[in-house]
């Protein structure tokens, strides 16, 4: 009897799935793409004209396609609708394009984050404006309507920066292979040359104390919408003042005032997040393998870096997000200018004032978010340009907890935050708006018992 019942249920499920009504995607219409080429949008769709799918499959593919188009960062709004008629479906894609050409003046802080700058500014009795940068910056997104990227920067001030970058998402007929290249130079009159007591130590002179140059070329391979491969070649060079060599002989770890090395890296990314700049659903996997080749500095170690993220809704308006990142290096001494631990792009929240050097690290971040205000669309009065007239915002309250650990086998004599657990926790208010802009106001406590309010403008993960 039990066997018959199982057979009946299995047959019923199979029959229902087999006989589910199929729909032919008869037409795909795109509106609102005044600049963006149609092929760029079609490349992100997980369905195509002439495909036969069930209604459930169409709904799922529309959802995935909307996420893909949103994560291009080319549109402020994306809407995809399906209109069924006589076993056929017309797909209508309605986009609101962004403003793509941004020539703007530079007036920015030259510190690792706002909190470090404010602390230094306060200690100078609010009178030291020397750590400001100024200049001009041209960013042309969606160049030629093909999602190409052009960047030109001319920045003077505390940390000079000259940059030219150009990126083409694909150039072959199958739209799977692209290329990205840039050349840049930094020049500083005040440069950090070592880490002591978990903080950067600077040397300042009237002449330039460090000059760093970098050239990079990357081949991109993207066979489908969610997986991306990169093969990257870098050349890095650093020139330093004689005083820095005397103050830290291990800065370049050679007998010269110039150090350079080559680097080749392979990256793989699997992107399943709904919105990369502030995800609430989905997951992300990133893997990177680097090999450094010795130049005039003995930089020849391997690096393996991996990261995973998971975001999900655990109940109505309540979300949880978690990430884990780790870096492992092969043996061999790493000169100071060629190694980084935590405190720059990656950090444990509530340790913003510290730098933790090392050759290996792991970092875990977790946040529970409550949606105070869901995504709300509104029109800005007196603005007629479609790229700015329609905007959106959302607001989240979150409780976070971070853990990190840095292994330093080289320079940990006066840096007691390495080789021990770093723990930070706190609360945050996150404001998210259009053009991928956000503001995070955090209150955090670290294991040292220090408390503080911290401002950030990017996704914490």
Higher pLDDT, 411 or 430: 430
pLDDT at position 382 over 90 = no
Model confidence band, residue 454 (pLDDT cutoffs 50, 70, 90): very high
Pairing between strand 132-143 and 101-109? Answer: antiparallel
pLDDT at position 11 over 60 = no
Higher pLDDT, 118 or 237: 237
- Would you state the pLDDT for residue 13? 46
pLDDT at position 17 over 70 = no
- Say how far apart CA 9 and CA 15 lie, in whole Å: 10
Question: For residue 197, what are the contacts with CB-CB under 8 A and spacing of at least 6?
Answer: 414, 415
- Would you state the pLDDT for residue 115? 76
**Percent of the chain scored above 70 by pLDDT?**
92
Closest by CA to 31, choosing from 88, 85, 68, 78, is 78
pLDDT at position 425 over 50 = yes
**Percent of the chain scored above 90 by pLDDT?**
77
Question: Please, what is the end-to-end C-alpha distance for the chain in angstroms?
Answer: 54
- Would you state the pLDDT for residue 12? 45
Q: Which helix (H) or strand (E) holds 288?
A: strand 282-294
- Would you state the pLDDT for residue 190? 86
User: How many other CB atoms are there within 10 angstroms of residue 184's CB atom?
Assistant: 16
Bridge partners for 266 per DSSP = 231, 289
DSSP letter at 261 equals E
Tokens linked to 437: 């802009």
Model confidence band, residue 15 (pLDDT cutoffs 50, 70, 90): very low
- Would you state the pLDDT for residue 354? 95
Question: Is 111 strand, coil or helix?
Answer: coil
* pLDDT tens string 35-58: 999 999 999 999 999 999 998 999
Closest by CA to 89, choosing from 38, 52, 42, is 52
* pLDDT tens string 437-449: 999 999 999 999 9
Instruction: Provide mean pLDDT across the span 317-336.
Output: 95
- Would you state the pLDDT for residue 19? 46
**Tokens 């200049």 appear where?**
135
CB 199 within 8 A of CB 355: yes
Closest by CA to 375, choosing from 434, 316, 320, is 434
CB 209 within 8 A of CB 186: no
Q: pLDDT averaged over the chain?
A: 91
pLDDT at position 366 over 60 = yes
The predicted model scores a pTM of 0.86
Tokens linked to 435: 């053009």
Instruction: Provide mean pLDDT across the span 297-321.
Output: 97
Question: For residue 131, what are the contacts with CB-CB under 8 A and spacing of at least 6?
Answer: 109, 110, 111, 117, 120, 121, 158
Model confidence band, residue 252 (pLDDT cutoffs 50, 70, 90): very high
- Would you state the pLDDT for residue 110? 62
Structurally, at CATH architecture level, domain 169-456 sits in Beta Barrel (2.40)
Whole-angstrom CA distances from 335 to 88, 180, 249, 411 are 64, 28, 9, 10
Pinpoint the alpha helices (H) of 216-306: 242-247
Q: What is the CATH number of domain 2-97?
A: 3.10.20.310
Tokens linked to 339: 């190694």
- Would you state the pLDDT for residue 2? 53
- Would you state the pLDDT for residue 104? 83
Q: In this predicted structure, which of 128-142, 161-175, 311-325 has the lowest mean pLDDT? A: 128-142
pLDDT at position 315 over 80 = yes
Bridge partners for 143 per DSSP = 148
Q: How many CA atoms lie within 13 A of 186 on its CB side?
A: 16
Instruction: Provide mean pLDDT across the span 312-322.
Output: 97
**Tokens 């030219």 appear where?**
164
Instruction: Provide mean pLDDT across the span 329-336.
Output: 91
Model confidence band, residue 131 (pLDDT cutoffs 50, 70, 90): low
Tokens linked to 52: 């036969």
Do 2-97 and 169-456 come out as alike in CATH topology? Answer: no
CB 430 within 8 A of CB 440: yes
The domains of the chain are located at 2-97, 169-456
Model confidence band, residue 116 (pLDDT cutoffs 50, 70, 90): confident
Question: Is 454 strand, coil or helix?
Answer: strand
- Would you state the pLDDT for residue 18? 44
Model confidence band, residue 112 (pLDDT cutoffs 50, 70, 90): low
Instruction: Provide mean pLDDT across the span 204-216.
Output: 93
Written as one string, the DSSP assignment of 117-157 is: HHHHHHHTTS---TTEEEEEEEEEEEETTTTEEEEEEEEEE
Closest by CA to 168, choosing from 110, 220, 112, 117, is 220
The dihedrals phi and psi of 327, each to the nearest 5 degrees, come to: -130, 135
């Amino acid at each position: 009897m039990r066997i018959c019942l199982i057979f009946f249920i299995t047959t019923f499920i199979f029959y229902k799935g087999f006989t589910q009504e199929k729909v032919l995607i008869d037409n795909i219409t795109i509106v609102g793409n005044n600049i963006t080429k149609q092929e760029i949008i079609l490349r992100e769709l997980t369905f195509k004209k002439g495909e036969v799918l069930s209604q459930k499959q169409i709904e799922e593919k529309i959802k995935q396609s909307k996420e893909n188009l949103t994560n291009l960062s080319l549109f402020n709004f994306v809407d995809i609708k399906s209109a069924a008629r006589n076993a056929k479906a017309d797909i209508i894609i309605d986009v609101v394009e962004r403003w793509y050409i941004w020539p703007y003046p530079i007036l920015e802080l030259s510190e690792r984050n706002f909190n470090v700058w404010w602390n230094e500014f306060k200690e100078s009795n609010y009178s030291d404006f020397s750590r400001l940068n100024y200049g001009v910056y041209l960013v042309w997104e969606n160049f030629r309507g093909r999602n190409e990227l052009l960047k030109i920067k001319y920045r003077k001030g505390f940390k000079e920066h000259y940059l030219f970058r150009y990126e083409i998402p694909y150039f072959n007929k199958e739209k799977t292979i692209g290329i990205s290249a840039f050349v840049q130079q930094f020049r500083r009159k005040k440069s950090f040359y070592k880490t002591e007591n978990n903080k950067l130590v600077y040397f300042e002179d009237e002449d330039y104390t460090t000059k760093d140059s970098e050239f990079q070329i990357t081949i991109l391979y993207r066979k489908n919408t969610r997986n991306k491969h990169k093969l990257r070649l870098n050349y890095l060079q650093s020139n330093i003042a004689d005083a820095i060599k005397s103050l830290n002989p291990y800065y370049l770890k050679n007998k010269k005032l110039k150090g350079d090395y080559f680097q080749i890296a392979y990256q793989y990314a699997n992107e399943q997040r709904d919105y990369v700049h502030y995800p609430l659903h989905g997951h992300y996997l990133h893997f990177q393998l680097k090999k450094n080749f010795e130049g005039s500095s003995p930089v020849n170690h391997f690096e393996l870096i991996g990261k995973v993220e998971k975001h999900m809704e655990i109940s109505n308006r309540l979300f949880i997000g978690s990430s884990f990142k780790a870096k492992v290096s092969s043996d061999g001494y790493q000169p100071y200018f060629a190694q980084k631990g935590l405190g720059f792009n990656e950090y444990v929240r509530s340790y913003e004032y510290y730098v933790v050097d090392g050759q290996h690290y792991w970092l875990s971040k977790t946040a529970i978010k409550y949606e105070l205000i869901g995504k709300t669309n509104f029109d800005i009065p007196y603005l007629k340009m479609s790229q700015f007239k329609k905007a959106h915002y959302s607001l989240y309250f979150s409780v976070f907890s971070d853990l990190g650990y840095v292994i330093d086998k080289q320079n940990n004599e006066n840096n007691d935050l390495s080789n021990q657990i770093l723990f930070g926790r706190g609360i945050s208010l996150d404001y998210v708006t259009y053009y991928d802009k956000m503001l995070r106001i955090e209150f955090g406590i670290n294991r040292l018992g220090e408390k503080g309010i911290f401002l950030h403008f990017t996704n914490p993960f």
